[in-house]
Amino acid sequence: MPVVAVVNPKGGVGKTTLATNLAGYFATNRHATMLGDFDRQQSARHWLGLRPAGVAPILTWETRDEIQRPPKGVTHVVLDTPAQIAGKRIADVVRVADRIVVPLQPSMFDVLATQQFLDELRTVFRGSRKRFEDTVAVVGMRLDPRTKAAEQLGRFVQQLGIPVAGYLRDTQNYVHLAAHGLSVFDLSSSRVDKDRETWEPLLRWVLR
């Protein structure tokens, strides 16, 4: 059962967009999917409440303070984690997650904050049987991979010894679809073809 955690302690980097669309991908591929929302704002939970009848169902992960393994019958899990995550909660995420995806925008402030978090995350992995380099990857958000900004982001991440699993382009489709509880994978329209294409490298990394 793949458990994918979307983690970055900085707010506004696109964690919920990444988490909801990843859950949408699993669900539309007929997997029993659960989306856990551990952010106080509960944005992912609100998104689930907006999903219309007739689209692939996604379950809500009801949990207490401690992150546990998901219930039986669920085959794919996505965790949307809060900003300012630290300490025991990070250790809980490392314990349950098969993949940890770190969304990152190409700004100096985001890069510096994320570097500090990745250093802390690497320390947590030292007490785990999992390998940091095999479990954690960055996703460039609102970014065209052909641009200089993407190249600079790739160089920064390479210095940290982890991969860039993919880049998601800057598009209003995510905003418009989120308002209706939908992901880019819930539509068959050609308007989201380019968006779905940008997901392919990330999905290969998550499912490898």
pLDDT in tens, 77-114: 999 988 777 777 888 888 889 999 999 887 777 777 78
* Mean pLDDT over each residue of the chain, to the nearest integer: 87
* Superfamily, domain 3-207: P-loop containing nucleotide triphosphate hydrolases (3.40.50.300)
Predicted pLDDT of residue 139: 92
Q: How many CB atoms lie within 10 A of CB 197?
A: 10
pLDDT at residue 7, as a whole number: 92
DSSP codes joined into one string, 64-124: -SS--PPPTT--EEEEEPPTT--THHHHHHHHH-SEEEEEE-SSHHHHHHHHHHHHHHHHH
**Residue 102 burial (C-beta neighbours within 10 Å; 0-12, 13-18, 19+):** buried
pLDDT of amino acid 105: 82
The residue with greater pLDDT, 21 or 91, is: 21
Could you tell me the two tokens for 126? 């030292």
Looking at residue 29, its pLDDT comes to: 96
Query: pLDDT per residue over 30-49, tens digit each?
Result: 999 999 887 777 888 899 99
The mean pLDDT value for 179-201 works out to 93
Share of the chain above pLDDT 90, in %: 46
What is residue 25's predicted lDDT score, i.e. its pLDDT?
Answer: 97
Other Cβ atoms closer than 10 A to 113: 17
pLDDT given for residue 150 in this prediction: 76
Mean local confidence (pLDDT), 56-77: 79
